[in-house]
Amino acid sequence: MTTQYLLQLVISGLVVGSIYSAVALGFVIIYKATRVVNFAQGELLMVGAYVCYAFLVQMHLPFGVALLLTILFSMVLAMTIERLILRPMIGEPIISIIMVTIGLSLVLRSAVSVVWGTDILVYEPKLFPQAMLMVLGVPVSLEFVWCFVLSVFLLAVFSVFFKYSKAGVAMRATAFNQQVAQSMGISVKKIFALSWVISAVVSGIGGVLIGNINGINNTLYHFGLKVFPATILGGLDSILGAALGGVIIGVLENLFDGVCSTYFDLAGVKEVAPYVILVVILMIKPYGLFGTKEIERV
Amino acid sequence: MQYCGDFRTTYEKDVKIFQTPFVKICMGFLGVALVALPFLVKGEYLWISMQIVIAVIGAVGLNILTGFTGQISLGQGAFLGVGAYTSAYITAKMGLPFWVGVPAAGCVTALAGMIFGIPSLRLKGLYLAIATLASQFILEWIFLRWEPVTGGSYGIVVPRPSIGGFVFDTDRSYYYVVLVIAAAMVLFATNLMRTRTGRAFMAVRDHYISAEIMGINLFKYRILSFAVSSFYAGVAGALYGHSLRYVSSEQFNIGVSIVYLAMIIIGGLGSIIGSIFGAVFMILLPQLLTVVTTQLGSSFPGIAEVAIALEQGIFGAIIIMFLIFEPDGLAHRWKMIKAYWKLYPFSY
C-alpha cells in the first residue's frame, strides 16, 4: 500500500462521489419541498442515461441537442409522475409513500429493460476527449475530471438558485411551512411539480455523465441506493449536506474497499461499507452534518 | 339472533375472537378447506399454496412490527434469511432435527432483530426505515461472505423434516407441517394483540409520547416488537428454506423485503386478517402475471424476451394503483363488505 495507491482510491472515490452527490441533490430537493422519500431516484438517473443514449446514438443527434431533449424528457416525465402518482398520495402515511415510490421504481426499471434490453450500451461518439491528466502524480482520465467539474458546477448553480432566485425562495418557504407559503400566494402544487422537475433533470444529467464514462446497463439504478447513506450523512434536508455527503461516501467506500481487499482479504466491502457508515451515523448523529433537528413538543 | 349495530356490554365481548357463531362456522369451514386442499390440488398449485402459508407467517410478523407498533422495516427479507440460514446450519451441518432447527431459527432471528432494532430507540419513521434498509444490505453481505457458516455463493442444501421413521419429503406432507405451524402462529399473534403487550404496541404506534406518559416502557416494547416480528420472520424463513431444500443468499434480497412490505400495505396495516389477504395476493400475483405473459408471448412473439421485465413493471403498477385507490388495504374492503351484508337490505 503506497500513498500513490491511496491517492488513486481517493480520486476515483471523488469522481463516483460527485455522481452520488448529483443523485443525492435530486433526492434532497424532493424531500425538502414535498417530504416525499423518493426510492426511485436512481431510476430517474437511469432513464436519463438511456434517453440520452437513444437521442445521441440511435438517432445520431449532436450531443448538445441530445442533452437538451433529454432534459426536456426528464421534465415531462417528472411532471407526469408528480401529477399522476404523488399528488393523490398527499397526506398518506410515510410508509405508503415509500411503497408508492418503490412501485414507481419497479415500473421505470421494467420500462427501460423492455425498450432497451439488458445489454451494456456505450455512448458513441464520446463527449469528452480520451486523454490522461496527471493529478499529484496520479494519472486520471480527463472524462473523470470533466465529470467532477460538471457535478460541482451543478451543485453551485442550485445553491445559488435556492438562495437568490424567486422560485428557489418560494421552494424554501414551502419546505418550511406549506400553509404559510400558500397564504403568501405561493402555489404549493406548482412548487411540488417544480421540485420533481429539478430533481429529475439533475439526476438525468448525472445519468448522462455516467453513461459517458462507463456505458449504461440496467443496473444503473444502484446509484439510487447509495443516496441514503449520502443524504443521511449530510442531513436529509440540506443541499450542501447532500453534496458533501455524496463525495464523502464515494471516497470512504473506495478507501474501505481498497484497504480491506489488500489487508484483510475481504472482497465486496464496497457494497456494504456505505451502509455500515450509515448505521454508525444514525447512532451518533441522527440528523447528519447539516440536517434540521426535529424537536417535538407535547 | 344478531341485531343491527353493536350491543356489546362488556370488554370481554368486545375482544372476543369469534364475534358470532356464524364466524365460528365460517372459520371451521375454512379450516376444513385448508386441511383438504392437498387432496384437491397437486403439483405446482400445491407448491404455491405452501408458499402462501409460509408467506402468511412472515407477513403477520412484519405486520406486528410495522402495522401494530408503527416501526417501518425494510429488512424483513434479510431476517427471513437469518432464519433460513440458522435452520440450515443446525440441520445440515450440525445434524440436529428440523424440530430443533425451526425454533432455534426463530430465536436467533429474534436476537438479530433486537440488535438491529436498537436504532429504533432514537429513530423513527423515515430514519428507522433507512436504518433497516442498511441492515438488509449488511445481512445480505454477511450471507454471501461468511462462508464457513453460510456456504457463500454455493448456499446450503437442507433436508426435509422427519419424525421417527417418517420423512415429510412430499409437498403434501410438508404442507401439513407448515399449515400447523402457521395456524398456531397466526392464533398466537391474534391473541397477543388482545393482551397488554399488544395494546402497548398500538399505543406506541399511535402516539409514543402519550404511551410513555401512560407508563409504557418504550425501550422494552419497541425491542419486544422487533423480537416478536423477527421470530416470525425466522420461522417463516426456516420453513421456506426447508421447502426449497436449498438456501442461498439471493433468495433473501431487498426484493423480498419489498414484497413483504407490499403484502402488509395491500392487505391492511395493523390487521392480522389483512396480512393473510396480502400474503395470498402477493404470492398469487406474480404467478398470474407469468401465466398472462406466457399467453401473450404465444400471440406476440416479441414479448417472450422482455417477459420478466414486463412482469416486474406490471407488479409495480399494481402496487401503485392499490395505494392510490385502496389506501387502507384489502382488510378495509373486507370490513366494508361484511358491514354491507350485516345490514342488508337496510343499509342505512
Say what the pLDDT of residue B1 is.
Answer: 45
CA distance A124 to A163: 38
pLDDT at B236 over 90: yes
Give the domain CATH number at B295: 1.10.3470
SS3 per residue for B103-167: HHHHHHHHHHHHHHHHHHHCCCCHHHHHHHHHHHHHHHHHHHHCHHHHCHHHCEECCCCEECCEE
CA dihedral sign, ordered A59, A62, A77, A221: positive
- Whether residue B28 lies inside any domain: the answer is no
Please, are residues B54 and B236 in contact by the beta-carbon 8 Å criterion? yes
Contact A114 B309 (CB under 8 A): yes
Quick one: closest CA in B to A232, which residue? B127
Residue scoring higher pLDDT (B80 or A11) = B80
Closest to B82 in 3D by CA, of B61, B56, B63: B61
B130: nearest CB among A232, A283, A296:
A232
- Whether residue B213 lies inside any domain: the answer is yes
Partners of residue A232 in chain B, C-beta under 8 Å: 127, 130
Partners of residue A298 in chain B, C-beta under 8 Å: 209-210, 213
- At B198-211, the pLDDT tens digits run 999 999 888 888 88
Overall average pLDDT of the A230-256 stretch = 84
- At B18-31, the pLDDT tens digits run 777 777 888 888 88
Specify the number of domains making up chain B: 1
Q: Which of residues 284-313 of B touch A (CB under 8 A)?
A: 305-306, 309-313
CA distance A89 to A87: 5
- At B121-144, the pLDDT tens digits run 777 777 888 888 888 988 988 888
Q: Which of residues 227-286 of A touch B (CB under 8 A)?
A: 228-229, 232, 236, 266-268, 271-272, 275-276, 278-279, 282-283, 286
- Whether residue B124 lies inside any domain: the answer is yes
A228: nearest CB among B133, B213, B311:
B133
For residue B5, name the pLDDT band (cuts at 50, 70, 90): low
Kindly report the nearest CA distance between residue A249 and chain B, in angstroms: 14
Partners of residue B309 in chain A, C-beta under 8 Å: 109-110, 113-114, 118
A109 touches chain B (CB under 8 A): yes
Q: How far is CA A32 from CA A95, A233, A234, B111, in A?
A: 17, 15, 13, 36
Contact B312 A236 (CB under 8 A): no
Closest to A19 in 3D by CA, of A143, A136, A134: A143
Domain ranges of chain A: 3-284
Please, are residues A288 and A234 in contact by the beta-carbon 8 Å criterion? yes
Please, are residues B61 and B231 in contact by the beta-carbon 8 Å criterion? yes
- Whether residue B332 lies inside any domain: the answer is yes
Contact A266 B317 (CB under 8 A): no
Contact B261 A95 (CB under 8 A): yes
pLDDT at B348 over 70: no
- At A168-206, the pLDDT tens digits run 888 888 888 888 888 988 888 888 899 899 889 888 888
Closest to B204 in 3D by CA, of B224, B188, B189: B224
Partners of residue A100 in chain B, C-beta under 8 Å: 319-320, 323-324
B137 touches chain A (CB under 8 A): yes
Bridge pairing between strands B166-167 and B246-247: unpaired
Overall average pLDDT of the B56-60 stretch = 93
pLDDT at B94 over 90: no
- Whether residue B68 lies inside any domain: the answer is yes
A96 touches chain B (CB under 8 A): yes
pLDDT at A297 over 70: no
Partners of residue B138 in chain A, C-beta under 8 Å: 272, 275-276, 279
Contact B130 A107 (CB under 8 A): no
Say what the pLDDT of residue B84 is.
Answer: 92
A286 Rama class: left (phi>0) / alpha (psi -120 to 50) / beta: alpha
Contact B323 A110 (CB under 8 A): no
CA distance A82 to A88: 9
Mean pLDDT over all residues of chain B? Answer: 85
pLDDT at B230 over 90: yes
Partners of residue A91 in chain B, C-beta under 8 Å: none
pLDDT at A224 over 60: yes
B138 touches chain A (CB under 8 A): yes
Second CATH level (architecture) for the domain A3-284: Orthogonal Bundle (1.10)
CA distance A134 to A117: 38
DSSP 8-state assignment for residue A262 = I
- Whether residue B244 lies inside any domain: the answer is yes
Overall average pLDDT of the A160-164 stretch = 86
Contact B319 A102 (CB under 8 A): yes
Q: Percentage of residues in chain B with pLDDT exceeding 90?
A: 19
Describe the crossing of helices B98-117 and B126-145 by its angle, rounded to 10 degrees.
130
B320 touches chain A (CB under 8 A): yes
Helices (DSSP H) in chain A: which residue ranges? 3-34, 41-53, 63-81, 94-116, 142-164, 166-176, 178-183, 188-214, 222-225, 227-234, 239-259, 269-284
- At B151-161, the pLDDT tens digits run 777 888 887 87
Residue with cell 452520488: A20
Phi, psi of A139 (to 5 degrees): -70, 130
- At A83-111, the pLDDT tens digits run 988 888 887 888 888 889 999 999 998 88
B313: nearest CB among A37, A110, A276:
A110
N- to C-terminal Cα separation, chain A: 55
Residue B242, domain extent: 43-343
Say what the pLDDT of residue A210 is.
Answer: 80
Read off the pTM: 0.88
Contacts of B218 (CB under 8 A, 6+ apart): B121, B204, B208, B211, B212
SS3 per residue for B5-45: CCCCCCHHHHCCCCCCHHHHHHHHHHHHHHHHHHHHCCCHH
CA distance B5 to B14: 13
Say what the pLDDT of residue B345 is.
Answer: 74
Contact B134 A275 (CB under 8 A): yes
B309: nearest CB among A110, A236, A268:
A110
Phi, psi of B152 (to 5 degrees): 55, -135
The set of long-range contacts for B158-166, using a CB threshold of 8 Å and a minimum separation of 24, is: B158/B87, B158/B88, B158/B91, B158/B92, B158/B241, B158/B242, B158/B245, B158/B246, B158/B247, B159/B91, B159/B92, B159/B98, B159/B242, B159/B245, B160/B98, B160/B242, B160/B245, B161/B97, B161/B98, B161/B99, B161/B242, B162/B97, B162/B98, B163/B99
Phi, psi of A267 (to 5 degrees): -95, 160
Overall average pLDDT of the B77-93 stretch = 90
- At A117-134, the pLDDT tens digits run 777 777 776 766 666 777
> Which three cell numbers mark B274?
389483512
